[in-house]
């Protein structure tokens, strides 16, 4: 029987559990602390930046994959050199770990992206603001998530704390033009080592404060599906991605697309697929990293809308209101991740299927308000 080893015990590892059970494979999770979201599948608790511990974990699994992108590339290169199957491999994963490496690679592949520059001094940043300002976006190339590590600024002084600590971000910052987008979108794809790749329909993502708030699948305008899938296949093949990859994109008013960033693992924009697709992103990820044939990615119904549940304070109060929301909205699917509550933290999500995406969004938001105790 095959075993997939996941580094990281967050909600993504958690949601791989039912898929592993259905496929009849073992899941082993290397969590960084006790009581993680994926606690039911944890086989090791420790430090994922320690090569000896990674080696120990790798011994008992057929393939290593990820719940997050924070394992240092050098360690993954070392494991790979020792014969461990690492999927995605470090040569591909680096593009999801480091936004500057990604920008350079996308430029090389000739794919559309915002104007950008590598910044190593306040002068360089002021120069970029002079050309693309008054407002521009500065990002830390590594370590950012959920909008942390992204700032909209109009002067170098607003990121002086980052500019003074360049070493902790790999020596430079990423500056991007502030894109005046119509909406944001994400395209998911799964690719297996033998080369087979399948995309899901393009989805619309709605962020609030830099964090994903809602997802509408498929993206309501179908004219974007082909160009988005083309870009995504080019990246997956160009980088040799294995497993699931999400390509976050900006949709401009003229219908063109720019690549924002990449994630090489199941992604928040794909949670809709648990109920909404014939094959969920979690099952497909397991299939892909084991080099098994990929499942059909068609929608099960018309639309699926996913609504994130974010921590409203530091109390795990969602369970109190859960039954009320369930009673009022019996067609909504509920997912709670068993994480310790913190303001703004991703605590769970809801999915609702149907034919009218606007109505679904309204239903999802109302159910969320009940869980937040607002209604
Ligand atoms: N160049 C840009 N122009 C306009 N808005 C941007 C730009 N870059 C990022 N944003 C906004 O900030 C959000 C977060 O940026 P990004 O995806 O790079 O950060 P992250 O913290 O790595 O994201 P995630 O939440 O996906 O982990 C984007 O979804 C978008 O709403
Ligand atoms: Mg993002």
For the beta sheet containing 3-7, the strands, ordered from the edge strand earlier in sequence to the opposite edge, are: 42-45, 26-31, 3-7, 63-66
Percent of the chain scoring above 90 in pLDDT: 94
Ligand 2 geometric centre to CA of 147 (Å): 7
Q: Whose CA is nearest to atom 11 of ligand 1?
A: 210
**Is the distance from CB of 14 to CB of 337 less than 8 angstroms?**
yes
pLDDT digits (tens, 9 = 90+) for 164-176: 999 998 899 999 9
Ligand 1 atom nearest 146 alpha carbon: 25
**Ligand 2 centroid, distance to 272 Cα (angstroms):** 17
Radius of gyration (C-alpha) of the chain in whole angstroms: 20
Query: Ligand 1 mean position to 348 CA, how many Å?
Result: 21
> Ligand 1 center to residue 133 CA distance, Å?
17
Residue 241: other Cβ atoms inside 10 A: 27
Helix (H, G, I), strand (E, B) or coil at 219: coil
Q: 322 and 270: one domain?
A: yes
**Ligand at shortest distance from the CA of 146:** 1
What token pair was written down for 229? 């899938």
Report DSSP letters for 91-126, one per residue: HHHHHHH-HHHHHHHHHHTT-----EEEE-SHHHHH
Q: Is the pLDDT of residue 145 over 80?
A: no
Q: Is residue 101 part of a domain?
A: no
Measured by CA distance, the residue closest to atom 2 of ligand 1 is 178
Query: pLDDT tier at 148 (50, 70, 90 boundaries)?
Result: confident
> Which DSSP helix (H) or strand (E) runs through 136?
strand 136-139
Residues in contact with ligand 1 (CB, 6 Å cut-off): 114, 137, 139, 144-150, 176, 178-179, 184, 207, 210-211, 248, 260-261
pLDDT at 144 over 80: no
Residue with CA closest to ligand 1 atom 29: 210
Alpha-carbon span 97 to 101, nearest angstrom: 8
Ligand nearest to the backbone CA of 267? 1
User: pLDDT tens-digit profile of 230-286?
Assistant: 999 999 999 999 999 999 999 999 999 999 999 999 999 999 999 999 999 999 999
Q: How far is the CA of 15 from the centre of ligand 1 (A)?
A: 24
Q: What does the pLDDT read at residue 210? A: 86
Residue 35 lies in a domain: yes
Q: What spacing in Å lies between the alpha carbon of 146 and ligand 2's midpoint?
A: 7
- Each residue of 16-61: pLDDT tens digit? 999 999 999 999 999 999 999 999 999 999 999 999 999 999 999 9
210 CA → ligand 1 middle, Å = 6
Q: What is the CATH number of the domain that holds 343?
A: 3.30.470.20
CA separation for the pair 115, 176 (Å, rounded): 6
- Does 195 reside within a domain? yes
Q: What is the pLDDT of residue 20?
A: 98
Query: Which of the listed residues 160, 177, 194 is the one where a domain comes to its end?
Result: 177
Is 332 found in the same domain as 190?
yes
| Mean pLDDT, rounded, for 137-151 | 88
153: containing domain: 115-177
Last residue of a domain, one of 154, 177, 200: 177
Ligand 1 pocket test, candidate residues 10, 70, 261, most atoms within 8 A of CB: 261
Residues 229 and 291 reside in one and the same domain? yes
Residues 24 and 143 reside in one and the same domain: no
Cα(22) to centroid(ligand 2), Å: 30
285 located within any domain: yes
Shortest-distance atom of ligand 1 to CA 178: 3
CB-CB contact of 173 with 151 (8 Å): no
Question: What is the Cα–Cα distance from 267 to 290, expressed in whole angstroms?
Answer: 19
Q: What pLDDT score was predicted for residue 306?
A: 98
Probe target for ligand 1 pocket from 210, 212, 266, with the most ligand atoms within 8 Å of CB: 210
159 and 128 within one domain: yes
Q: How far apart are CA 360 and CA 53, in angstroms?
A: 45
Per DSSP, the three-state class of 307 is strand
Co-location of 144 and 248 in the same domain: no
Q: Which residue has the higher pLDDT, 313 or 146?
A: 313
Q: Write out the two tokens for 149.
A: 């590590």
| Among protein residues, the one whose CA lies closest to atom 27 of ligand 1 | 145
pLDDT for 82 beyond 90: yes
Is residue 244 included in any domain, yes or no?
yes
Q: How confident is the model at residue 130 (pLDDT cuts 50, 70, 90)?
A: very high
Ligand nearest to the backbone CA of 149: 1
Counting ligands in written order, which one lies closest to the CA of residue 132?
Answer: 1
Ligand 1 atom index nearest CA of 177: 1
Give the pLDDT mean for 106-118. 98
Could you tell me if 334 and 201 lie in one domain? Answer: yes
Domain count, the chain: 3
Mean local confidence (pLDDT), 126-150: 92
Q: Which of the four pLDDT bands, split at 50, 70 and 90, describes residue 143? A: confident
Helix, strand, or coil (residue 27): strand
Write the DSSP symbol of residue 313. Answer: S
Give the pLDDT confidence of 280-301 residue by residue, as tens digits.
999 999 999 999 999 999 999 8
Question: Which amino acid residue places its CA nearest to atom 22 of ligand 1?
Answer: 145
pTM higher than 0.95, yes or no?
yes
The pairing of strands 183-191 and 203-208 is antiparallel
Co-location of 145 and 34 in the same domain: no
The whole-number pLDDT of residue 301 equals 87
């Amino acid at each position: 029987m095959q075993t997939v080893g996941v580094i990281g015990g967050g909600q993504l590892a958690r949601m791989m559990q039912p898929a592993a059970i259905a496929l009849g494979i073992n899941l082993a999770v290397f969590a960084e602390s006790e009581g993680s979201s994926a606690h039911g599948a944890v086989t090791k608790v420790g430090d994922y930046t320690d090569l000896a511990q990674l080696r120990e974990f790798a011994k008992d699994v057929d393939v290593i994959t990820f719940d997050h992108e924070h394992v240092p590339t050098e360690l993954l290169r070392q494991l790979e050199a020792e014969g461990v199957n690492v999927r995605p491999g470090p040569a591909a994963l680096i593009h999801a770990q480091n936004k500057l490496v990604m920008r350079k690679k996308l430029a090389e592949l000739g794919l559309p992206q915002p104007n950008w520059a590598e910044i190593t001094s306040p002068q360089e940043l002021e120069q970029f603001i002079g050309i693309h300002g008054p407002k521009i976006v500065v990002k830390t190339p590594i370590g950012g998530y959920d909008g942390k590590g992204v700032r909209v600024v109009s002067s170098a002084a607003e990121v002086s704390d980052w500019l003074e600590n360049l070493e902790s971000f790999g020596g430079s910052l990423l500056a991007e033009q502030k894109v005046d987008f119509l909406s944001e979108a994400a395209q998911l794809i799964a690719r297996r080592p033998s080369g087979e790749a399948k995309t899901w329909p393009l989805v619309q993502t709605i962020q609030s404060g830099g964090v994903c708030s809602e997802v509408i699948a498929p993206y309501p305008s179908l004219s974007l599906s082909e160009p988005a899938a083309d870009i995504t296949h080019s990246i997956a093949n160009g980088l040799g991605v294995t497993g699931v990859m999400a390509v976050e994109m900006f949709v401009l008013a003229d219908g063109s697309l720019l690549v924002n960033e990449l994630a090489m693992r199941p992604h928040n924009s794909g949670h809709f697929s648990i109920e909404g697709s014939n094959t969920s992103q979690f099952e497909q990820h397991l299939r892909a990293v084991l080099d098994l044939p990929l499942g059909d990615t068609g929608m099960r119904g018309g639309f699926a809308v996913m609504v994130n549940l974010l921590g409203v304070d530091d109390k795990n109060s969602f369970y109190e209101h859960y039954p009320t929301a369930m009673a009022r909205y019996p067609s909504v699917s509920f997912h709670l991740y068993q994480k310790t509550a913190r303001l703004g933290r991703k605590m769970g999500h809801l999915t609702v299927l149907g034919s009218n995406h606007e109505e679904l969004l309204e239903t999802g938001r109302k159910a969320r308000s009940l869980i937040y105790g607002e209604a």
